[in-house]
Amino acid sequence: MSDSAERTPATATRRPVRSFLINAWRLSLLFLLWNLVRLFVWTRNHVRLPRWFGSDFREVAVRLWTIAWLAFVWVLLWGTLSWANVLGGLLLAAAVLTVLPLPRVPVEGRIHPLSVLRLVLRLIYDFMVSSAQVAWMAVRPGRPPLGAVMRVRLAIKSDMVLTLAVDYLNLVPGTMVLEIDHRRRMLYIHVFDVRSEKKVRAFYRQIAYVERTFVQAFERDSEWHPSPYHGIDDDFHGGVRRTIDRPTTEGSQT
How sure is the predictor about 254, in pLDDT bands with cuts at 50, 70 and 90? Answer: very low
Burial of residue 90 (number of CB atoms within 10 Å: 0-12, 13-18, 19+): middle
User: By C-alpha distance, which of 78, 70, 73 is closest to 95?
Assistant: 70
Going by the DSSP 8-state scheme, the letter that residue 238 receives in this structure is T
Which residues fall within 8 angstroms of residue 213, CB to CB, at 6 or more apart?
Answer: 115, 118, 119, 122
Q: Please enumerate in sequence order all residues whose Cβ is within 8 A of that of 235, keeping only pairs 6 or more positions apart, or say none.
A: 242
Weakest mean pLDDT among 118-127, 154-163, 210-219, 225-234: 225-234
- State pTM to two decimals: 0.56
Could you tell me the CA-to-CA distances from 187 to 24, 155, 181, 215, 244 in Å, in that order? 63, 11, 6, 17, 11
Q: Residue 156's CB: how many other CB atoms inside 10 A?
A: 24
For residues 248, 152, 177 and 191, what is the CA-based torsion angle, rounded to 10 degrees? -50
- Judged on CB neighbours under 10 Å (0-12, 13-18, 19+), 151 is middle
DSSP secondary structure letters along 62-76: HHHHHHHHHHHHHHH
pLDDT-based confidence at residue 24 (cuts at 50, 70, 90): confident
| Closest listed residue to residue 148, CA positions, set 247, 14, 26 | 247
| DSSP string for residues in 186-210 | EEEEEES---SHHHHHHHHHHHHHH
Sign of torsion over alpha carbons 64, 66, 69, 75: negative
CA 115 to chain CA centroid, nearest Å = 10
Residues 6+ apart with CB under 8 A from 157: 108, 219, 224, 226, 230, 232, 236, 237, 239
pLDDT at 96 over 60: yes
What does the pLDDT read at residue 232?
45
Q: pLDDT band at 230, cuts 50/70/90?
A: low
Span 103-121, pLDDT tens digits: 666 666 778 889 889 989 9
Per-domain residue ranges of the chain? 51-99, 113-253
Query: Are the C-beta atoms of 53 and 101 separated by less than 8 Å?
Result: no
Choose among 162, 140, 143: nearest CA to 153.
162
By mean pLDDT, which of 60-74, 211-225, 227-241 is the weakest?
A: 227-241
Give the sheet arrangement for strand 186-191, strand by strand. Answer: 175-181, 186-191, 146-153, 249-253
